[in-house]
Amino acid sequence: MSLVVMKFGGTSVEDPAAIGRTAAIVAGRLALGKQPIVVVSAMAKVTDQLLRAAAAAAQGDRVGALAISSRLRSRHRDTAAELVKDSAEVASLIDLIDQKFDSLDEILRGLAAILELTPRISDLIVSYGERLSSRIVAAAFRERGIDAAHVDAREIVVTDSQFQKAVPLDAIIERRAQNRLLPLTSVGQVPVMGGFIASNEAGITTTLGRGGSDFTGALIGGALSAEAIEIWTDVDGIMTADPRICPDALRVKVVSFEEAAELAYFGAKVLHPATILPAVRKNIPVQVLNSRNAASEGTRITSLAPHCKSPFKSIAVKKKLSIIDMVASRMLMTHGYMKEIFTVFDQHRCAVDMVSTSEVSVSLTVDSNDNLPAIAADLGKLADVKYEGRKALICMVGEDIRGKNGMAAQVFAAIRHINVRMISQGASEINMSFMIEEDDADEAVRSLHAAFFKDPDPVIFDVEARKPLTASSC
Ligand code: ADP
Ligand code: ASP
Ligand code: MG
């Protein structure tokens, strides 16, 4: 049985038309003799709105929170009513949607009384997005003749208790995925489950972090040793840059697991950074595809990618970063000093993206977060500390960058008009990264793209789709 995990993102289930397209794509895979397992995100923007409702309630704005919930209720009810025509099916689906919103409203009212939003309650509130979308999608599939069975992802994806960024417990997931999903697929049913949501071993709802539905898809694919993991989204695949920043971005036909992981980690939102790991462990190819343009071949992520004549495959940008500069009279090279610095970050559970040192100073970059003043206060015991937000990290990914002469000169010549705050090259053979002001980031990506994708290798890039260059584009 050729199992294929198909993950559909928020835009692929955003309204009745999108869910209809998704159903047609799944039916197409069935017609090819594949056995799909479907993982869906919440409908587009729903997670953000649930978080907004939670924040409003926690500030005592009960009316505002319930108004957001009421708009979401209407959107889900209307979508269900448009997709499912069978009167008994639609009645029970709408009843179920109402039950879920009734319990969500109860939580929001409670929150507005308690005025304290814990990560655990936040996860419970956002989980409604995927719990609702997966029910609607399963019913819409059945209406279109697909034998779909809804499965609550929280029964399968078991994690630790780090709410909002829970870590999956692979062995339990493998066992549960096999016990729960294989009996369905073995009789040709198509399981439909929400991504992103999970539960700890006590059955309390957790989530895998924003964008985590990709991760769910990969975890399920890994647990069942699927033949392929397909990530269906709203662009033609992994592109040479974010097409929202650079409209001339080209589809990358194939990248290695390693390259995709670097791109995802350094900000290419098209893929959640943790997606690659379960696929690598079992050597399962991942395909990124466009649900609005199913005919496009997408991007194939595999263990080995063919040699690329162009120096870079793609440019990623990660915004909302901060830089922390530390100057110490105590010498940096002193034994154990760096360890003390990193212990502070560890205690605050704060990941460091980039590090640069000199004799008496260290600079580090981290995600901007509310903990920065506390981190800086603790670091202040070791050195003079300054920190600044609104920074962006640009990451250029390509084959063997370290081994190519003059690469750095070409990169910095392309952005000679932009001030570079920090540089890192050498940690990885396939990435060159540097930090600039966030306001300069889009311009930097466009300049770099114009410089390095003038003559792209047709083996790797979809050059045929290239739009004619205009003066206003890059
Ligand atoms: P989904 O809801 O399907 O998970 P996301 O919004 O999380 O979709 O990711 C898709 C978006 O990622 C695209 O619309 C695009 O703007 C953005 N993106 C950023 N970098 C890239 C890149 N290198 N290639 C393709 N898309 C990218
Ligand atoms: N719905 C979640 C989010 O918006 C997970 C996902 O879409 O991948 O972050
Ligand atoms: Mg996503």
Count the neighbouring beta carbons within 10 Å of the beta carbon of residue 357.
15
Q: From first to last of the 474 residues of the chain, give the pLDDT tens digit.
A: 799 999 999 999 999 999 999 999 999 999 999 999 999 999 999 999 999 999 999 999 999 999 999 999 999 999 999 999 999 999 999 999 999 999 999 999 999 999 999 999 999 999 999 999 999 999 999 999 999 999 999 999 999 999 999 999 999 999 999 999 999 999 999 999 999 999 999 999 999 999 999 999 999 999 999 999 999 999 999 999 999 999 999 999 999 999 999 999 988 999 998 999 999 999 999 999 999 999 999 999 999 889 999 899 999 999 999 999 999 866 566 778 888 899 999 999 888 988 988 878 899 999 877 789 999 999 998 889 999 999 999 999 998 887 888 888 999 999 999 999 998 876 788 999 999 999 999 999 999 999 999 999 999 999 988 755 544 444
**Contact criterion met (CB below 8 Å) for 175 and 219:** no
pLDDT in the model for residue 473: 47
CA neighbours closer than 13 Å in the CB half-sphere of residue 347: 13
Ligand 2 centroid distance, CA of 42 (Å): 6
- For residue 133, which of 14, 247, 272, 256 has the smallest C-alpha distance? 14
Q: Which residues pair with 287 in a beta bridge?
A: 230, 300
Ligand 1 centroid distance, CA of 239 (Å): 9
Ligand 3 centroid distance, CA of 10 (Å): 8
Q: What atom in ligand 1 is closest to the CA of residue 268?
A: 20
Ligand 1 mutation pick, 269, 272, 318, 460, max ligand atoms within 8 A of CB: 269
Q: What atom in ligand 2 is closest to the CA of residue 129?
A: 1
Ligand 1 centroid distance, CA of 382 (Å): 40
pLDDT in the model for residue 291: 98
- For residue 287, which of 246, 245, 241, 236 has the smallest C-alpha distance? 236
Give the number of the ligand closest to the Cα of residue 196: 2
Read off the tokens for 350.
């704060």
- For residue 296, which of 224, 221, 226, 243 has the smallest C-alpha distance? 243
Distance CA 160, CA 198 (A): 10
Read off the tokens for 460.
């790797």
**Residues having CB within 6 Å of any atom of ligand 2:** 9-10, 41-42, 47, 129, 195-196, 210-213
pLDDT in the model for residue 330: 64
Please report, for residues 7, 166, 198, 225, 230, the alpha-carbon distance to residue 178 in angstroms, rounded to integers and kept in the order given.
18, 21, 16, 10, 19
Read off the tokens for 211.
């964008």
- For residue 148, which of 23, 3, 17 has the smallest C-alpha distance? 23
Report which residue type is found at 148.
A
Q: What atom in ligand 2 is closest to the CA of residue 196?
A: 5
Distance CA 238, CA 249 (A): 10
pTM of the full predicted structure?
0.94
Report which residue type is found at 282.
K
Read off the tokens for 279.
């696929």
Q: Work out the widest C-alpha separation in the chain, in whole angstroms.
A: 76
pLDDT in the model for residue 468: 54
